[in-house]
Amino acid sequence: MSRSRSRGLRTGATVVAAMLLGLVGPNVASAQTTWQVEMTNSLTFFPAQITIVAGDTVRWTNISSTQPHTATADSPLARRSGFNSGTFPSQWLGPGESFEFTFTAPGEFPYHCIPHRSFGMVGTVIVNSSGTAPARFVGATAERGRVVVGWKVDARSDRAGFHILRSVGWGTDFVQVNDALIPGAPTDDHLYTFVDAAVVPGTEYYYVVQELTTAGQSSYWGPATVRARR
């Protein structure tokens, strides 16, 4: 567990390009990875649900301009293990502050923001066993003049498709970059890719995959970060 006031920490949840292209096995996912979650002005965690493997770290950063936030486990046992950014108001994360926690055991870890739980500011970290690739992942790799985004998701029969959202730098708004809905398959063995050719060399980008169902519900996977090649 650690706490920081720096907003310069920009290590995103990037999966290596080889994994995106299917050139290596799932054990690549067992390497320790730091996943980023934003605590926003709109009183939400973004993304609200992420899937990682044991040994990975999640870093929560308060990007709001005025609101304090916490990342506090719902389970007392999880809180005692250190999954708690601060119980008392003096310990809550102010704008620009961050908190990180390394998950060492598999399981499902729901959590909330203490001052904004009643507003629905809740999230979940799903931890798979070490060495097991997450059922869902998002990754990005830079090629000359473009960025290739790849993702894999769980099986579901009501999947309509996907949108790709992108932000320039950490903490800025995400905007949709695909022109039309990317069709989705119902199975969990499909590796999706999207090529973003509207990138500026040397610029750091964050990508999130928005999954839509036929009923209009949305889920968000990511973010993955990459710096466009010169």
Which residues face 112 on adjacent strands? 72, 122
Q: What is the mean pLDDT of residues 148-168?
A: 88
The SS3 assignment for 142 reads: strand
Task: Out of 3.40.50.720, 2.60.40.420, 2.40.50.140, 1.10.3720.10, select the CATH number for domain 2-128.
Answer: 2.60.40.420
Q: Does 23 have pLDDT greater than 90?
A: no
Type of residue numbered 7: R
Q: Percentage of residues in the chain with pLDDT exceeding 70? A: 81
Q: 183: pLDDT confidence band, cut at 50, 70 and 90?
A: very high
Distance, in Å, from the CA atom of 213 to the CA atom of 106, rounded to the nearest integer, reads 28
pLDDT digits (tens, 9 = 90+) for 73-119: 998 878 888 899 999 999 999 999 999 999 998 888 999 999 999 99
Full-prediction pTM beyond 0.95? no
Q: What is the mean pLDDT of residues 202-227?
A: 86
Q: What is the pLDDT of residue 102?
A: 95
Other Cβ atoms closer than 10 A to 112: 18
pLDDT digits (tens, 9 = 90+) for 33-49: 788 888 988 888 887 87
Q: Which of 138, 116, 140, 126 is nearest to 39 (CA)?
A: 116
Q: Does 13 have pLDDT greater than 60?
A: no
Q: What is the mean pLDDT of residues 208-216?
A: 90
Does the domain at residues 137-227 carry the CATH identifier 2.60.40.10? yes
Structure-block tokens of residue 138: 């998002």
The more confidently predicted of residues 26 and 202 is 202
Break the chain into its structural domains and give their ranges.
2-128, 137-227
Q: One fold for both 2-128 and 137-227?
A: yes
Distance, in Å, from the CA atom of 32 to the CA atom of 204, rounded to the nearest integer, reads 21
Q: Name the average pLDDT for the chain.
A: 80
Distance, in Å, from the CA atom of 95 to the CA atom of 63, rounded to the nearest integer, reads 6
Q: 155: pLDDT confidence band, cut at 50, 70 and 90?
A: confident
Q: Does 201 have pLDDT greater than 90?
A: yes
Q: What is the mean pLDDT of residues 179-202?
A: 88
Q: What is the pLDDT of residue 10?
A: 29
